[in-house]
Structure formats: C-alpha cells, structure tokens
C-alpha cells in the first residue's frame, strides 16, 4: 500500500518520497519497469542493512538511521510524514523535525503482541502511550484493528482513521489472463483449492493441509491444494504433507510474481490465517471472481465478507456471509500426524466440502465476491488518504 500511495501521490503532483529504513525490499516499485524507474528517483534508503537481521542488530543501527531520517526530512522540508509498520512508526514519532505525523498500523496489535517477548510487550504498553501523543493521525486498514487499539490505549477518536486497502480490478483482470508455468498446468484438470501468503505459522497453512487431507479422503479424492508463497516453514509444511500422505496433491510452487493467473484457474480460495491486518490475498481472490472461505481471524475478513451488522457477531460454525463463507478462527496447533483434526479444522473441512459439492452456490459466491471487490477501488482509497494528508 505504501508503494501504491507513492505512485498515486506522485501522479497527483505531490512532492513525495519513499524512505526505507533498510537497503532491501521484497517487491518491485511498480509492475511497469519504466514507471518503476521513474519512482526509483523518489526512493531514499536510510541504510544498506538487511531487513531480516535480528532485533539486536536493528537496535544497534537505529541511532544512525534515526539521525539520517532527521537530516533527510529537514533537507526535503517535508511537512507531512506517513509511516507504515512498527519500526517506521517509532522513528516517525520520535523524530525532532516538526512535521505532521501520520502513523499507519497494519496489524491487529493484540494478536501481534502474542508472538513478542515479555520485555517487548512491556515496552509497548509502557512507551507507546507516551509516543502516541505526538501522532496527529493513527491510521488502520481495518475497523476491528482500530477498535482493538482503542481498547489497549486511550486514544481520542478524532485521531483514529480507518482506510481499507484497495485492489485494481482492471490490472488484476489483465494479469489473470497470463499463462502459468507449464509444469503445473495438469494440476488444473482436477478441482483446485488455492491459498496464498508467506509460509509462516500465523498464516495457518498447517490447518488447511490437515483439513484438505480430510476433504481428499472423504469428499473429493482428485482435488488438489496449491499454497502460493515462500517462507521459513517450507520444510515443516513439506514434512507434514508427507506425514499425512498428501504430498502428491499439495503443491508449494513458492513465490509467484503473478499469482492472479493461478487464482483465475482455481475453483476455491481459502484463507486459514490466525491473524491478519487486512487480508489483501482474500480481496484479490474475490476480485478475480473466486468463491472464498475465510477463518474469522482478527482482522479484516468479516469486514470484507459481511455487512456491518455482523461486525460484532460471534462466529461459532459455518456462516454464510453476504460475500463469502466465514468459519471460526482456527485453533492453534494441537495435534499432528494421523491424530484427529481439531474442531475448527473439521468445520473448515465441512465448509470446503459444502462448496465443492454445490456448484450453484460456488457460482453465486463467485459473483458476489467480484461485486464486493469493486467497492475497494483506488479512487475511494486515494480520496480518503488525500483528506487526511491535507488535514
């Protein structure tokens, strides 16, 4: 979203720069190489450090990066600074340069804090309230995340902004027409369930694999599962597939530059995440026209799939929402191997089976998903951001 904002603001003749803390980045500045070259002239790196280095190294390099940020903002005479994610937000809030500070929090903080050490949790609870006083706007990409944050910290409602992410339907439609690598084409002769996301525990892929084993065994012996993405759990997930004897029908092709071509050929998208900020993968699958099943994780899925009336509803079983199917948040791993699946994994199995068996419902949710995605347009996204930037 930061890259999209850079592109959009620059096209609207804002004098805008993208400042990165580290020297590495995972995605290109723009899909069009010529446009990427133009945007590269607005890119400033505060260091040549690797983004994946450990916490201690990040702490050691922080003073140098902070000082360079202060000098950069003063040189550019920036009157508004927008920061994305935790480290950048802290740099923004502590910088001495007098400017309008907008911080963007892209996670459900309570869920994110579960994976942090007791020391980090203590520091966040102690220091964050003090730093937040310096923020002019605190932006979130989901209402559930914003509400959770307000419950954690006493923040005036006037400082809170919620702007969902967006997707470019025209670009996704064009990219979805591209071919996929020839070695995977035969997979799509069978029913295909697909998901995408980094191979991390929080993405819930192990739960989906376990549910898929039950689907394959009891409902659709020929179905295939594709997990697009790369990450540190690749070996663990591969081992789980072997253990459950589904390694011949679960495919992990790694990071794909164009996942939309894969989505367009699939029958069903599943988001098994335990936590999200706002699930772009789910929105993009809907934009392609896939029927979707999502775990009711914090935050984002219920906002995408349902009407405002369900925002405070308890999801205990399969719930047919307006634009897709919600299931309860998946349990943390409890069992492995051939032992019984958990209660929520069983619900996921039933939800997948339900859609695979009911083609009419699949087509209905495919239409609903695509219609819903249209409301997350760039125009709406950019108009809201322009309002808070202008003050």
Strand duo 137-140 + 100-105: pairing: parallel
Cα dihedral value 229, 230, 236, 238, nearest 10 = 60
Distances (CA, A) of 45 to 10, 57, 145, 280, 340: 18, 17, 29, 26, 50
The DSSP line for 254-314 is E--S-HHHHHHH-SEEEE--S--SS-HHHHHHHHHT--EEEE--SSSHHHHHS-GGGTT--
Distances (CA, A) of 9 to 35, 89, 128, 168, 385: 14, 20, 29, 16, 10
Tokens 């400042």, residue located: 19
Q: CA 310 to CA 278: how far, in whole Å?
A: 17
- Per the CB < 8 A criterion, the answer to whether 87 and 21 are in contact is yes
Residue 261's H or E segment, with its range, is helix 259-265
- Encode the chain (391 residues) as per-residue pLDDT tens digits: 888 888 888 888 899 999 999 887 667 788 778 988 998 999 999 988 877 777 778 888 888 999 999 999 999 999 999 999 888 999 999 988 788 999 999 888 888 887 777 777 777 788 888 899 999 999 999 988 998 898 888 888 889 999 999 888 888 999 999 999 999 999 999 999 999 999 999 999 999 999 999 999 988 999 999 999 999 999 999 999 999 999 999 999 999 989 999 999 999 999 999 999 899 999 999 999 999 999 999 889 999 998 777 777 888 899 999 999 999 999 655 444 445 688 899 999 999 999 999 999 999 999 999 999 999 988 888 889 988 988 7
Angle, nearest 10°, between helix axes 280-288 and 359-373?
Answer: 110
Q: 197: which 2 tokens?
A: 């996301």
Angle, nearest 10°, between helix axes 86-94 and 55-76?
Answer: 50
pLDDT at position 331: 67
pLDDT at position 338: 44
Taken in order of first residue, the domains within the chain and their CATH numbers are 2-166+377-390 (3.40.50.2000), 177-373 (3.40.50.2000)
**50: phi > 0 → left, psi -120 to 50 → alpha, else beta; which?**
beta
Q: Which residues contact 316 (CB under 8 A, 6 or more apart)?
A: 328
Would you give the end-to-end CA distance of the chain in angstroms? Answer: 20
pLDDT at position 313: 80
Tokens 């979203």, residue located: 1
């Amino acid at each position: 979203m930061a890259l999209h904002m850079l592109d959009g603001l620059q096209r609207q003749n804002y004098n805008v720069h993208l400042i990165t803390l580290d020297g590495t980045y995972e995605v290109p500045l723009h899909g069009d190489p010529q446009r990427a070259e133009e945007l590269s002239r607005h890119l400033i790196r505060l260091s040549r450090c690797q983004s994946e280095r450990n916490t201690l190294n990040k702490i050691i390099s922080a003073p140098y990066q902070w000082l360079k940020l202060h000098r950069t903002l003063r040189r550019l005479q920036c009157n508004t600074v927008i920061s994305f994610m935790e480290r950048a937000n802290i740099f923004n809030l502590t910088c001495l340069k007098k400017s309008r500070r907008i911080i963007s929090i892209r996670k459900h903080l309570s869920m994110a804090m579960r994976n942090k050490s007791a020391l980090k949790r203590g520091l966040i609870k102690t220091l964050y309230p003090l730093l937040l006083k310096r923020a002019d706007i605190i932006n979130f990409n989901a209402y559930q995340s914003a509400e959770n944050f307000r419950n954690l910290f006493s923040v005036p409602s006037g400082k809170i902004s919620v702007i969902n992410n967006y997707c470019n339907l025209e670009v996704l439609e064009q990219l979805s027409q591209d071919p996929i690598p020839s070695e995977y084409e035969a997979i799509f002769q069978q029913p295909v369930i697909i998901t995408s996301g980094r191979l991390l525990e929080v993405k819930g892929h192990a739960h989906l694999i376990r549910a898929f084993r039950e689907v394959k065994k009891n409902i659709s012996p020929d179905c295939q599962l594709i997990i697009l993405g790369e990450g540190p759990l690749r070996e663990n997930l591969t081992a789980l597939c072997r253990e459950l004897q589904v390694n011949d029908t679960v495919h992990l092709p790694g990071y794909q530059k164009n996942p939309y071509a894969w989505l367009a050929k699939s029958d069903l998208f599943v988001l098994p995440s335990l936590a999200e900020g706002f699930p772009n993968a789910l929105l993009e699958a809907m934009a392609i026209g896939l029927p979707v099943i999502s775990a009711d994780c914090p935050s984002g899925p219920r906002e995408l799939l349902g009407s405002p009336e369900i925002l405070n509803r308890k999801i205990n079983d399969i719930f047919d929402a307006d634009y897709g199917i919600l299931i309860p948040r998946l349990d943390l791993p409890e069992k492995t191997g051939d032992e019984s699946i958990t209660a929520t994994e069983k619900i996921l199995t039933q939800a997948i089976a339900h859609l695979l068996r009911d083609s009419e419902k699949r087509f209905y949710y495919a239409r609903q998903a695509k219609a819903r995605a249209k409301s997350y347009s760039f125009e709406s996204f950019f108009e809201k951001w322009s309002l808070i930037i202008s003050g």
